[in-house]
Amino acid sequence: MQFFLNLVDSFGYPGLFLAMLLGNLGLPVGTEVVVPAAGALAATGHLSSWWLAALVATAGELVGGGILYAVGYYGGRPFVARWGKYLKLDEDKLDRFHAFYERHGNVVVLICRFIPFVRGVAALPAGVSRMQKRFFFLYTLIGSSLFCFGLAWLGNAFGSHIDEITPHIHRFSLGFLGGFLVLLAVVVAYRLLRKPHNEATRAE
């Protein structure tokens, strides 16, 4: 993470674009920390404006996600079987992703934009599942814009004090992930408990 923060500090917008692109190709960039840091750099004059930083970050996410989506779309399961281990993704996880997409629809792509770790690899199973391109790019654009503009504004608001809140942002993202997993477990448990009841009702 420190390497990518230094990349943004040294090279400005091109460094930010590259960091966000790589973060959406499965690399552990820590985008939830890089974006507010870019906003803070705008507040201290190292970058010209926080909204331009947010725009560049969003573009990097869209391009990176698009590349990974294309890899999944055209490479399919053979790619996952051969290279998925480098993204911590195997065919079993891919099947679970696919089932989740099928069950909850294309809006899952939007939700994944706010989940740490998952957001960096979610485009690959979306591509393998042959999700319609217009939905993938639309929801990715919306989710990435909210993520990048929100965090860049936060970083700009705190300016030179960004180091004080960065650990809290990271903990918040982990808490969001934990809360999402708990909510998902509750929904799955509810459906599993409800299924026997529905089957019994139909039998009567």
* pLDDT score, position 169: 52
Structure confidence by residue, pLDDT tens digits, 78-108: 777 777 666 666 677 777 777 777 776 677 7
Neighbouring CB atoms inside 10 A of 158's CB total 18
Higher pLDDT, 146 or 84: 146
User: Which residue type occupies 87?
Assistant: L
Q: Return the top range by mean pLDDT from 62-66, 69-73, 76-80.
A: 62-66
Q: At residue 67, does pLDDT exceed 60?
A: yes
Looking at residue 28, its pLDDT comes to: 82
Q: How many CB atoms lie within 10 A of CB 6?
A: 12
The span from the CA of 9 to the CA of 41, in Å, is 8
pLDDT at 173 over 60: no
Which residue has better confidence, 175 or 8? 8
Predicted structure pTM score: 0.74
CB 37 within 8 A of CB 15: no
- Under DSSP, is residue 116 helix (H, G, I), strand (E, B) or coil? coil
List own/partner pairs for 86-93 with CB under 8 A and 24 or more apart.
86/26, 87/26, 87/121, 87/124, 88/26, 88/121, 89/26, 89/121, 89/124, 89/125, 93/125
**pLDDT per position as a tens digit, 10-35:** 899 999 999 999 999 888 888 888 89
Confidence at 62, pLDDT banded by 50, 70, 90: very high
Q: Which domain holds residue 138?
A: 2-203
Q: Are 23 and 29 in contact (CB under 8 A)?
A: yes
Evaluate if residue 69 carries a pLDDT over 80: yes
Q: Is 55 left (phi over 0), alpha (psi -120 to 50) or beta?
A: alpha
Domain total in the chain? 1
